[in-house]
């Protein structure tokens, strides 16, 4: 006998929860905000909206299903099952946070604050959760998904890091990173820079796009579901031993850029989460390419 589906609700603590934890009481939190020209009313309004959405989604899970709930900080310790249906309640960035821990499970993005969140990755209202959960299950015929391309970095010691938006490789202190870069045509160049960004089509609306705009790049940024990545070297520095000829490009499916570290320690991290980084020591090689998995976003 097969187990019923499991819905896993992913959320993050609200600003109000964090304020009260830090300042012990609501009154002290309100006083702290007032000293900075803010009112606690806004934090309370947002807290109610988010918790109302979480409650609506929880109530919409069919009663015979299994269920789980996980806060963002606990994601590295949570074990997702292959048959899980993941429901993310929060901002678009929370979907990126959870994507790296998934292996093909469908993701339903719920937007609790449509007046504040763009809703690119959380396009659905809380009231749609019940219908979407059933539709995403085998009983509903399987989900209608948008497969968004992800980025993967692999170190030569076997460490692997995946990200939905982009992967950054550079110094953990954001000082000058030194390495040898190899691009798909085999060209290798020693560089000193502020690091390298490799972004997907989803990330091409964020950090990757800001880099693209700042340097007035002529390259064609990828679309979210397109099998291409874009890469940029940030602030490459010319010197007698370092070059600036290989500073941007695109990666077709199956292509990669590689870096061999020439600094004591570089790090790679995804989607801006530096606390969850992969170290790369002197002489180690890290390869960045399109991930074999995609984010399966329920539409």
DSSP, residue by residue, 219-285: S-PPPTTSSEEEEEESS----SS---S--EEEEETT-EEEEEE-SSEEEEEETT-TTS-EEEETT-E
Count Cβ atoms within 10 A of the Cβ of residue 263 and give its class: 0-12 exposed, 13-18 middle, 19 or more buried.
middle
d(Cα 200, Cα 177) in Å, to the nearest integer? 22
- The DSSP letter of residue 63 is T
Q: Give the orientation angle of helix 40-60 with respect to helix 129-136, to 10 degrees.
A: 40
User: pLDDT tens across 230-253, in order?
Assistant: 999 999 999 999 999 999 999 999
Order of strands, edge to edge, in the sheet holding 265-270? 248-252, 228-233, 196-199, 166-170, 265-270, 278-281
Which pLDDT score, from 0 to 100, does residue 205 have?
A: 85
Which pLDDT score, from 0 to 100, does residue 149 have?
A: 95
Pairing mode, strands 228-233 and 248-252: antiparallel
- Residue 187 Cα to chain centre, angstroms: 30
Enter the tokens of residue 26: 């609501």
In degrees rounded to 5, what are phi and psi of residue 203? -70, -20
Nearest to 267 by CA among 179, 184, 204: 179
Which pLDDT score, from 0 to 100, does residue 1 have?
A: 55
d(Cα 299, Cα 107) in Å, to the nearest integer? 9
Which pLDDT score, from 0 to 100, does residue 76 have?
A: 87
Q: Are 179 and 263 in contact (CB under 8 A)?
A: yes
Which sequence spans correspond to the domains of the chain? 6-143, 150-292
Enter the tokens of residue 160: 């692997």
Which pLDDT score, from 0 to 100, does residue 2 have?
A: 75
For the domain bounded by 150-292, which CATH number is listed?
A: 2.60.200.30
Pairing mode, strands 188-193 and 177-182: antiparallel
Query: Considering the chain, what percentage of its residues have pLDDT values greater than 70?
Result: 98
Pairing mode, strands 145-155 and 285-298: antiparallel
Which pLDDT score, from 0 to 100, does residue 142 have?
A: 65
Which pLDDT score, from 0 to 100, does residue 13 have?
A: 93
Per-residue pLDDT of the chain (299 residues; tens, 9 = 90+): 578 899 999 999 999 999 999 999 999 988 888 999 899 999 999 999 999 999 999 999 999 999 999 999 999 899 999 999 999 999 999 999 999 999 999 999 999 999 998 889 999 999 999 999 999 987 656 668 899 999 999 999 999 999 999 999 999 887 899 999 999 999 999 999 999 999 999 998 888 899 999 889 999 999 999 999 999 999 999 999 999 999 999 999 999 999 999 988 899 999 988 888 999 999 999 999 999 999 999 98
In degrees rounded to 5, what are phi and psi of residue 289? -150, 180
């Amino acid at each position: 006998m097969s187990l019923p589906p499991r819905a896993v609700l992913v959320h993050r603590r609200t600003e109000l929860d964090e304020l009260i934890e830090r300042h012990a009481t609501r009154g002290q939190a309100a006083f702290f905000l007032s000293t900075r020209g803010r009112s606690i009313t806004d934090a309370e309004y947002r807290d109610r909206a988010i918790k109302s959405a979480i409650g609506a989604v929880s109530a919409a899970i069919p009663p015979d299903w299994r269920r789980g709930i996980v806060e963002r900080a606990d994601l590295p310790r949570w074990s997702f099952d292959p048959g899980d249906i993941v429901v993310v309640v929060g901002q678009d960035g929370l979907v990126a946070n959870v994507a790296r821990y998934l292996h093909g499970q469908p993701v339903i993005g719920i937007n609790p604050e449509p007046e504040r969140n763009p809703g690119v990755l959380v396009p659905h209202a809380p009231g749609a959760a019940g219908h979407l959960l059933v539709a995403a299950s085998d009983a509903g015929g399987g989900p209608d998904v948008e497969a968004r391309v992800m980025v993967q970095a692999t170190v030569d010691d076997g460490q692997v890091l995946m990200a939905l938006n982009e992967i950054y490789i550079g110094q953990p202190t954001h000082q000058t990173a030194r390495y040898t870069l190899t691009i798909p045509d085999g060209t290798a160049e020693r560089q000193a820079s502020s690091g390298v960004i490799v972004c997907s089509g989803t990330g091409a609306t964020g950090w990757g796009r800001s880099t693209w705009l700042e340097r007035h790049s002529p390259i064609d940024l990828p679309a979210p579901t397109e099998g291409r990545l874009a890469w940029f070297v940030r602030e490459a520095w010319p010197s007698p031993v370092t070059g600036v000829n290989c500073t941007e490009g695109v990666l077709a499916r199956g292509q990669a850029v590689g870096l061999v570290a020439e600094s004591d320690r570089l790090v790679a991290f995804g989607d801006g989460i530096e606390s969850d980084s992969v170290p790369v020591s002197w002489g180690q090689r890290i390869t960045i390419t399109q991930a074999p998995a995609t984010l399966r976003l329920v539409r």
